[in-house]
Amino acid sequence: MNSCDLSGKVAVVTGGSRGLGLEIVRALSRAGAKVAVASRKRSACDAVAAELLASGRHASAHGFDAGSWQDCNRLHAEVTERWGGAHILVNNAGMSPIAPSSRETSEQLFDKVIAVNLKAVFRLSALFGEQMREAGGGCIVNISSSGSLRPRPNFAPYAAAKAGLNVLTATFAQEFGPTVRVNTVMPGPFHTDATSAWSKSEEFMSHAKRTLPLGRAGEPSEIAGAVLFLVSDSASFTTGACLTVDGGHSVGI
């Protein structure tokens, strides 16, 4: 039996209309899952769902503001109404704006970064995790960042939020075990539409060649294998884990 066969499973992916989230959506769909695509722009979610449906797969689109507790409640209700619940939750939505300095970081920016990267993960994991436990099992994968291990001064709120997300992984793994597994993937530098301006810059590429064991940033498709592993039967004895997918960034100089 193929351990990555997700036929009959329902997966929810936040931030699923672009970047790493889109690659995760496509990978889960190819593995047979019905995918609920959620992100801030409903039209972008509609486009991704249409792509999956045109390939003979199953999908639904959901407009979703990750900074809103009420939107977390609404997303859970919509997925429950449409699919009867979820077997997989991938908390991928995030934002990483950089302020000139900590002193110049506004309260509004700080609160937004914490809400999108941490509060939404807590609320969605609480809702879907309890639902999964009552249904007999499921998997939650939180997308963190290698920056939670190697923070830099210019994005302290983001790194702190992602470090908090790692703690939520450990907490929910205990709360929802043994039937629900909860794990973290920690990406390092990746080329996406939001990051390519710096990840493909001459300065970064030169730095990567000197300091990263693999000498480069990752391609979005390279995140999918880690997520598929963690939601598959191959990871049946894996929970509360933090898996780095960072080209060696966490061990680089």
pLDDT, averaged per 10 consecutive residues of the chain (253 residues), comes to 81 96 97 97 97 97 96 98 98 88 92 96 98 98 87 83 96 98 89 58 64 73 93 97 81 58
Asked if the structure places residue 2 within a domain, the reply is no
Asked if the structure places residue 40 within a domain, the reply is yes
H helix or E strand, kind and range, residue 138: strand 138-143
Tokens at residue 27, please? Answer: 């990978």
Nearest to 186 by CA among 92, 96, 107: 92
Asked if the structure places residue 221 within a domain, the reply is yes
Helix, strand, coil content of the chain in percent (nearest 5): 50, 15, 35
Assessment of whether the complete model's pTM goes beyond 0.85: yes
Catalytic residues: 158
CA 142 – CA 140 distance, rounded (Å): 7
Asked if the structure places residue 133 within a domain, the reply is yes
pLDDT at site 97 = 80
H helix or E strand, kind and range, residue 88: strand 88-91
Q: What is the CATH number of the domain that holds 65?
A: 3.40.50.720
Asked if the structure places residue 250 within a domain, the reply is no
The total of other beta-carbon atoms located within 10 Å of residue 106's CB is: 9
H helix or E strand, kind and range, residue 35: strand 34-39
Asked if the structure places residue 232 within a domain, the reply is yes
Task: Quote the domain boundaries for residue 107.
Answer: 10-243
Asked if the structure places residue 78 within a domain, the reply is yes
Residue showing tokens 């064991």:
213
Could you give the number of structural domains in the chain?
Answer: 1
Asked if the structure places residue 5 within a domain, the reply is no
